[in-house]
Amino acid sequence: MSNVYKTYHINKIKVINMPKSKYKLREKFLVFGQPDIRGEEINEVIATLKSKWIGAGPRVKIFEEEFAKYVNAKKAIAVNSCTAALDLCLIASGIKPGDEIITTPMTFSATANVICHIGAKPVFVDVDYDTMNISPKNIEKAITKKTKAIIPVHMAGYPCDMDKIMEIAKKHNLIIIEDAAHAVGSIYKGKKIGSLGPLACFSFYPNKNITTIEGGIVTTQDEELAERIRMLSNHGLSHDSWKRFSDKLVEGYDTIEPGFNYRMSDVQAAIGMHHLRRYEKENLKRREEIAKRYDGAFKDLPLETPKMPTGNSRSSRYLYILRLDLNKLNLDRSKFRQEMFSRNIGTGIHYTALHLHTLYKEKYGYKEGDFPVAEDISKRTVSIPLSSALTEDDVNDVINAVIDVCNKFRK
Ligand SMILES: Cc1ncc(COP(=O)(O)O)c(C=O)c1O
């Protein structure tokens, strides 16, 4: 706790005595990106453990079928992370060393790391200011003879301009692999993300809208690709491992390709199943309610709040991102986060543009100034807690802390 403020206690509630402010410090630190774990999934995990079938088995199958149905995809293949999902999609799409893959610098490291692993080159292009998504006009400018694929990222759940991206891909014969890590439930022009393109990859990491602790899923409309991805996720074997250990007699198995162990387990699927079943009516609705409260509370502050899709498109509301107006505030992003931290509120950064990370600078020669929009956002972006696990008190505490910091540092 900063010693700028004097603290004292009333009925065990710690209160910060700050001049000209009635600001009240919350007792417990509010962790950024809390998972919403309830009784249904806890009971399902226990039942799974007791069933003695804890690896990839019937619950993974149920989760895959329900997820495919939810996003309106033909097939869904559950794996142990979105990173694994992206990796499998690149391999299954035939990406080779020396190929170029166009993606956004406004993303998590995993999106571009998987491109590096294959020996291909991540070609970053700048983003649109409002949506933080890859800009289609910049994609066209970056296409060369070596370009093989585009990985658009639906940043914070805001769907990318997929009509334009699909048009460009068709014109230049490029594969699209959507990084939909943030986009469970996002809708683009009436269609769920996961149903549009050949391949989409979702994440179920603990801070995501649906969690399986670690986990991911590939959705596709292409049954052949689905088979190949499933086979690659399971050591390149001809049979699913759960079939090998089932009560049905399976006549041996064969290794077809050097695959991976990227499988999801039934214990993980047990959690995901219930999150998915509750998602539309409860968890996503709650995220939307909280985001609306934030929108209302912050509208007069020197901050930009997220722009939302219009018409029949929808964001999954994965993140609530503030952009600090540094011309109107006497602090930088780092100080803002420290001030929030001292008020017991956790925050996140989404993202520091990837081309500014050491790996991408040193390996590919990217440098400051390459992508001005992403760099501007990188310096001013800060994400505040948004989760269906937040109580009304938590939401009030976040709002009060943001207002208090802004008022204290307003120019
Ligand atoms: C945009 C994006 N892509 C990929 C990933 C990787 O997901 P996972 O942690 O499930 O591998 C993340 C993780 O947060 C992400 O934010």
Domain boundary among 275, 301, 328: 275
Q: Provide the domain count of the chain.
A: 2
Pocket test for ligand 1, best of 205, 268, 383 (most atoms within 8 A of CB): 205
Q: Record the pTM.
A: 0.93
What does 358-377 look like in DSSP terms, one character per residue?
A: HHHHHHH---TTSSHHHHHH
Q: Using the atom order of ligand 1, give the atom closest to the CA of residue 207.
A: 14
Reported in sequence order, the residue ranges of 169-319 that DSSP labels E, i.e. its strands, are 175-179, 187-188, 191-192, 199-203, 216-220, 303-304
Q: Using the atom order of ligand 1, give the atom closest to the CA of residue 179.
A: 3
**Residue 280: how many other CB atoms lie within 10 Å:** 11
Please check whether residues 148 and 94 belong to one and the same domain. Answer: yes
Asked if 96 and 248 touch (Cβ cutoff 8 Å), the reply is no
Please check whether residues 265 and 293 belong to one and the same domain. Answer: no
CATH of the domain at 292: 3.90.1150.10
Q: Residue 326: give the domain boundaries.
A: 279-409
Rounded distance from Cα 209 to ligand 1 centre (Å): 12
Low-confidence ranges of the chain (pLDDT < 70): 1-22, 240-250
Q: Please tell me the distance from the alpha carbon of residue 176 to that of residue 154, in angstroms, as a whole number.
A: 13
Q: Pocket around ligand 1: residues whose beta carbon is below 6 Å from it?
A: 81-83, 107-108, 110-111, 153, 179, 181-182, 203, 205, 216
My answer on whether omega of the bond before 318 falls inside 30° of 0, hence cis, is no
Give the per-residue pLDDT at 24: 86
Please check whether residues 270 and 299 belong to one and the same domain. Answer: no
Rounded distance from Cα 107 to ligand 1 centre (Å): 9
Rounded distance from Cα 201 to ligand 1 centre (Å): 9
Measured between alpha carbons, how far is residue 152 from residues 35, 159, 164, 177, 200 in Å?
Answer: 26, 9, 11, 7, 10
254-283: pLDDT as tens digits: 899 999 999 999 999 999 999 999 999 999
CATH of the domain at 139: 3.40.640.10
Q: Please state the separation of Cα 187 from the chain's center in Å.
A: 15
Reported in sequence order, the residue ranges of 143-215 that DSSP labels E, i.e. its strands, are 147-151, 175-179, 187-188, 191-192, 199-203
Pocket test for ligand 1, best of 81, 83, 114 (most atoms within 8 A of CB): 83
CA angle (179, 198, 56) in 5-degree steps: 70
Instruction: Give strand pairing partners of 323.
Output: 304, 381
- Say if strands 381-384 and 320-324 run parallel, antiparallel, or are unpaired: antiparallel
Rounded distance from Cα 267 to ligand 1 centre (Å): 20
Asked if 380 and 274 touch (Cβ cutoff 8 Å), the reply is no
Rounded distance from Cα 404 to ligand 1 centre (Å): 32
Q: Please tell me the distance from the alpha carbon of residue 407 to that of residue 19, in angstroms, as a whole number.
A: 12
User: Which residues form the catalytic set?
Assistant: 208
**In terms of C-beta density within 10 A (0-12 exposed, 13-18 middle, 19 or more buried), how is residue 338 classed?**
middle
Nearest residue by C-alpha to atom 16 in ligand 1: 108
Give the per-residue pLDDT at 198: 94
Domain boundary among 215, 244, 275: 275
Give the per-residue pLDDT at 104: 98
Domain boundary among 252, 275, 298: 275
What does 67-122 look like in DSSP terms, one character per residue?
A: HHHHHT-SEEEEES-HHHHHHHHHHHTT--TT-EEEE-SSS-HHHHHHHHHHT-EE
Q: Please tell me the distance from the alpha carbon of residue 121 to that of residue 360, in angstroms, as a whole number.
A: 10
CA angle (35, 219, 105) in 5-degree steps: 70
Nearest residue by C-alpha to atom 8 in ligand 1: 82
Nearest residue by C-alpha to atom 7 in ligand 1: 82
